[in-house]
Structure 1
Amino acid sequence: MTTAAAGEPGIPPMPERTPKALRDAIARHAPQLLSDFDAHWKRYVADAYDISTVPAFMARWWGEYAIARDPRLDAHVTGLERRAAYECSDLAEAKALLEEASNIRHMAARTEPGQ
């Protein structure tokens, strides 16, 4: 499974790559992430008085939103991680599930604005 294709029906495009645009997109299309986004911003960026934390913050939340904006993809990644943590007794199988989830997260992080 890959990340949402640009223009896929029902999947909102990625916003401009700014904290404000990303927050607005999260509020509109993935509100379940908003309180964590705001808490993370306040703790690691707003109260840090150090803008060097912004790139890491954006990288994390960009990928989170890229997945969350597609409910099927979000459920798939969550399912992979849940199965690895709670349902696998075979270490190799759990590792394969987590590698698949990680690959999806890496692809999501590379999603460009407008896609």
Structure 2
Amino acid sequence: MPDRNPKALRAAIAQHAPQLLRDFDAHWKRYVADAYDVSTVPAFMARWWGEYAIARDPELDAHVTDLEHRAAYECTEAAEAQALLEEASNIRHLAARTEPGR
């Protein structure tokens, strides 16, 4: 993981998960750059830190995507869908806590 700042995170995304770059830049422009409000930066970083932590690992990214897809399109029981979404959520929360350098 890069240093925990927007510039370093953007560079890491550009290099290791370029599929996220367009959305990252659009989100930055809409909610941070054009807002002129630095109070939005922590929430922005929290979201994209976790997104990048998952996207940089193709197997983990595919697993989370599969869990969410199965919950949305394949489950016939609410409890089963909930369990799949909870697993995906747990992975996202763990990814968001990944420290720089890991």
TM-score, structure 1 normalization: 0.88
1:61 maps onto 2:48 in alignment: yes
Match of 1:80 in 2: 67
Residue-pair matches, total: 102
1:35 maps onto 2:22 in alignment: yes
Structure showing greater relative contact order (alpha-carbon pairs closer than 8 Å, 6 or more residues apart): 1
Segments of structure 2 that go 5 or more residues without pairing to the other structure are none
RMSD: 0.3
1:111 maps onto 2:71 in alignment: no
CA deviation string 1:29-73 (max 9, x = no partner): 000000000000000000001100000000000000000000000
Distance 2:11 2:56 in 1: 13
Distance 1:68 1:49 in 2: 28
Segments of structure 1 that go 5 or more residues without pairing to the other structure are 1-13
1:98 maps onto 2:89 in alignment: no
Distance 1:50 1:106 in 2: 26
Q: Which amino acid aligns with 1:110?
A: R
Higher fraction of helix: 2
* Aligned structure 1 segments of 4 or more residues deviating by more than 4 angstroms: none
- Give percent identity, aligned residues only: 85
